[in-house]
């Protein structure tokens, strides 16, 4: 994975242009739209888009003009992120941190409900994401490449909190975590404060399975994002509306967002990876409109996320070699 300033011109983000230039099985030039890969199955490069791994740099493809979609996270720290944003601004290029969760229809529906004001002011948010990841997965414990549960998993529940509070009036954060013998964080909690009464708690772990759910509690109701993989690839929400002394409506209003059917013949690395098509289509829409940043995950939100991550690492005592630059 690329967590350095080279992300601006390298990595699987190179695939997300208006057209991808490559070769088909019979040697002919392929200029298929990225979103069309989903329907081509065998043409999808295994472990590139679907698996969120870097493209094979030896393959015959041309870098797309005027864009970069960087794999989450965009950089190791805020300094690297700022350098990429500055370069993109100087060159007039589209640049987006690949937080694919924001592009899912379920996530966009949550944002729509909250912005409508139907549920009133957001008061608290709890979100979590955790898996048991064995120590043999060395990337998770290698500080040279951004090892640790916070940058690998914790960013997703934090991003739900930023969505719920619209990243407005951020007042600060507190973090605590357990530390692996090699220095990377494993299980942790980050609490964010917004305004005078807004509070969000993000929990993550690479040592145990968690619920992988998000609860957004408002003055006039709540939104529950649940079911497997919902923390980063949601497909179902439950909305409850209530009065002063309790929520009404039983189990609430359930809204399902089925993932598009994948007709290819390559295996997914992770559940709900079919949802990457939403991000591909969103980037195409941004390019067609001539945008230089995504309205679903803005540069301002990217900056705030990395500010929170940097501060959390400082509080729990996790440092990367790149922090010295």
Whole-prediction pTM value?
A: 0.80
Rounding to the nearest 10 degrees, give the CA dihedral for residues 285, 162, 277, 148: 130
DSSP 204-242: EESBS-----EEEEETTEEEEE-STTTTTS--EEEEEEE
Q: How confident is the model at residue 261 (pLDDT cuts 50, 70, 90)?
A: confident
Closest CA to 311 of 156, 191, 183: 191
221 pLDDT above the threshold of 60: yes
Burial tier of 105 (Cβ tally within 10 Å: 0-12, 13-18, 19+): middle
Classify domain 108-266 at the CATH class level: alpha beta
In the chain, domain spans: 108-266
Asked whether the predicted pLDDT for residue 237 surpasses 50, the reply is yes
Residues 27, 286: Cα–Cα separation, whole Å: 31
Residue of higher predicted confidence among 26 and 280: 280
Which one, of 100, 74, 222, 238, lies nearest residue 156 by Cα? 100
How far CA 87 is from CA of 6, 90, 197, in Å, comes to 12, 5, 37
Q: Which residues pair with 199 in a beta bridge?
A: 124, 193
Over the stretch 116-171, which tens digit does the pLDDT of each residue have? 999 999 999 999 999 999 989 988 999 999 999 999 999 999 999 999 999 889 99
pLDDT attached to residue 246: 54
Q: Is 186 left (phi over 0), alpha (psi -120 to 50) or beta?
A: alpha
Length of the chain: 325
Contacts (Cβ under 8 Å, ≥6 apart) of 246 = none
How far apart (Å, rounded) are the C-alpha atoms in residues 110 and 193? Answer: 20
pLDDT band at 11 (very low <50, low <70, confident <90, very high): very low
* Mean pLDDT for the chain overall: 80
Report the alpha-carbon distance of residue 164 to residue 134 in Å, rounded: 32
């Amino acid at each position: 994975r690329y967590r350095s300033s080279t992300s601006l011109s390298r990595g699987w983000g190179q695939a997300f242009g208006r057209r991808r230039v490559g070769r088909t099985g019979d040697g002919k030039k392929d200029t298929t739209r990225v979103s069309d890969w989903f329907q081509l199955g065998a043409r999808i490069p295994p472990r590139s888009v679907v698996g969120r791994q870097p493209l094979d740099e030896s393959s015959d493809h041309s870098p797309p003009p005027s864009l970069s979609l960087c794999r989450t996270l965009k950089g190791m720290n805020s300094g690297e992120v700022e350098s990429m944003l500055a370069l993109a601004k100087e060159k007039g290029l589209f640049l987006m941190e690949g937080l694919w969760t924001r592009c899912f229809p379920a996530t966009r529906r949550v944002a729509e409900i909250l912005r409508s004001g139907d549920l009133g002011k957001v008061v608290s948010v709890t979100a979590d994401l955790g898996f048991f990841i064995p120590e043999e997965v060395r990337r998770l414990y290698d500080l040279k490449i951004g090892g640790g549960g916070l940058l690998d998993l914790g960013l997703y529940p934090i991003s739900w909190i930023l969505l719920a509070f619209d990243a407005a009036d951020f007042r600060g954060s507190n973090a605590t975590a357990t530390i692996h013998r090699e220095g990377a964080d494993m299980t942790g909690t980050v609490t964010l404060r917004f305004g005078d009464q807004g509070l969000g708690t993000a929990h993550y772990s690479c040592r145990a399975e968690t619920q992988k759910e998000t609860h957004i509690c408002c003055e006039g109701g709540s939104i529950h994002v649940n079911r497997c993989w919902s923390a980063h690839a949601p497909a179902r929400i439950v909305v409850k509306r209530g009065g002063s002394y309790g929520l009404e409506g039983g189990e609430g209003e359930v809204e399902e967002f089925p993932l598009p059917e994948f007709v290819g013949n390559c295996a997914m690395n992770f559940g709900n990876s079919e949802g990457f098509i939403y991000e591909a289509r969103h980037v195409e829409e941004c390019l067609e409109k001539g945008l230089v940043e995504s309205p679903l995950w803005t540069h301002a939100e990217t900056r705030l996320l990395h500010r929170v991550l940097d501060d959390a690492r400082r509080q729990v005592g996790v440092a990367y070699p790149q922090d010295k630059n």
